[in-house]
Amino acid sequence: MERDELVARLAEWVADRGVVVLSGAGLSTESGIPDYRGPSGAARRHTPMTYQAFTRDPVARRRYWARSHLGWRTIGGARPNAGHRAVARLQELAVVDGIITQNVDGLHQAGGAHGVVELHGNLARIACLDCGATSGRQELIERLDAANPGFAAAVTAVNPDGDVELDDAELDGFVVVGCAGCGGMLKPDVVYFGETVPPDRVSRSFDLVARARTLLVLGSSLTVMSGRRFVLRAAKEGIRVAIVNQGATRGEPYAGLMVDAALGAVLPELVRRVEAISPVAGR
């Protein structure tokens, strides 16, 4: 099938309502956040931080915060793209009932969506591992800037989880700060490798999928089970699965409809077609 025909078919599925979106890194690449598994992504030059390394190794933790402090200038400055705005519009049109994202960049909400289940958390939120208090990234940025006057290092690359590539020697002088309330250990409120997704987020997501007529996967290669399990569940329950992704995806055996294309182009077109099918909805 030609792409136009695929998008037209997808618009019929979406206009039928009851859509739950599952989004991944591919939705944010057009906002300048690299997708290290997608076609435009470069291989990572260092292994991702694990929960074990972060909590047990003070040197690894200091290096993480130094990279993350600088990397935030890119991640925190990213803006939603046409794909995020299209998803928010589909929610406004009441054809999308739920949004589950594997992204930690908050760009769905910045693009106007609400009620988003952030499976892997959000980099803009900081959590204290000792007292459980959460705070905003900006507050931490200011405290880290104050604790590290003149800290300046070359930013050479940014990874999706907010790391920056720097020599270890440049990182080891970085001063880490503790929780403003209790002095405890701070960590970005995101799920690291070696950590499990909090059970309430998983069950909320399964509930959304169970009530869906269509599970619409956007920009995910479904490499990790934390996202793929929802596709497996949908397929098992006889719920339609549609995938829009640039490049190969492990969801292909379960998808009734696949569009291999850039999301920033396809999703606005999808919105136009859905509006043409249901012209009254959301107006």
Active site residues: 120
**Using CB under 5 A, which of 94, 131, 146, 147 touches Zn ion?**
131
- For Zn ion, the binding residues in 111-130 under the rule CB under 5 A are 128, 130
Number of residues that bind Zn ion (CB under 5 A): 8
Q: How far is CA 214 from CA 18, 135, 137, 262, in A?
A: 6, 36, 35, 20
φ, ψ for residue 180, nearest 5 deg: -65, -25
Residues 182-211 binding Zn ion (CB under 5 A) are 182, 184
Residues 174, 59: Cα–Cα separation, whole Å:
10
Give 85 or 187: the residue with its C-beta nearer to Zn ion.
Answer: 187
CA 211 to chain centre: 22
| Least distance from Zn ion to the Cβ atom of residue 241, Å | 42
How far is Cα 25 from Cα 38, in angstroms, rounded to an integer?
8
Q: Is 64 exposed, middle or buried (0-12, 13-18, 19+ CB in 10 A)?
A: buried
Q: Choose, by CB under 5 A, the member of 32, 115, 136, 181 that binds Zn ion.
A: 181
CB of 76 or CB of 184, closer to Zn ion: 184
Q: How far is the CB of 189 from Zn ion (least distance, A)?
A: 13
Q: According to the binding rule CB under 5 A, does residue 94 interact with Zn ion?
A: no
How far apart, in Å, are the Cα atoms of 70 and each of 124, 169, 243? 14, 15, 34
Choose the binding region for Zn ion from 3-11, 131-139, 158-166, 250-258 (rule: CB under 5 A). Answer: 131-139
* Least distance to Zn ion, CB of residue 133, Å: 5
Judged by CB under 5 A, the stretch of 10-18, 27-35, 47-55, 178-186 that binds Zn ion is 178-186
Nearer Cβ to Zn ion, position 132 or 256?
Answer: 132
Indicate the residue among 16 and 130 with the shorter CB distance to Zn ion. 130
- Dig out the tokens for 121 from the structure: 């958390």
Q: Which stretch binds Zn ion (CB under 5 A): 45-53, 180-188, 225-233, 259-267?
A: 180-188
Shortest Å, Cβ 127 to Zn ion: 9
Least Cβ distance, residue 132 to Zn ion (angstroms): 7
**225 with 251: CB under 8 angstroms?**
no
CB 119 within 8 A of CB 201: yes
Nearer to Zn ion (CB atom), residue 131 or residue 225: 131
Residues at the interface with Zn ion (CB under 5 A)? 128, 130-131, 133, 179, 181-182, 184
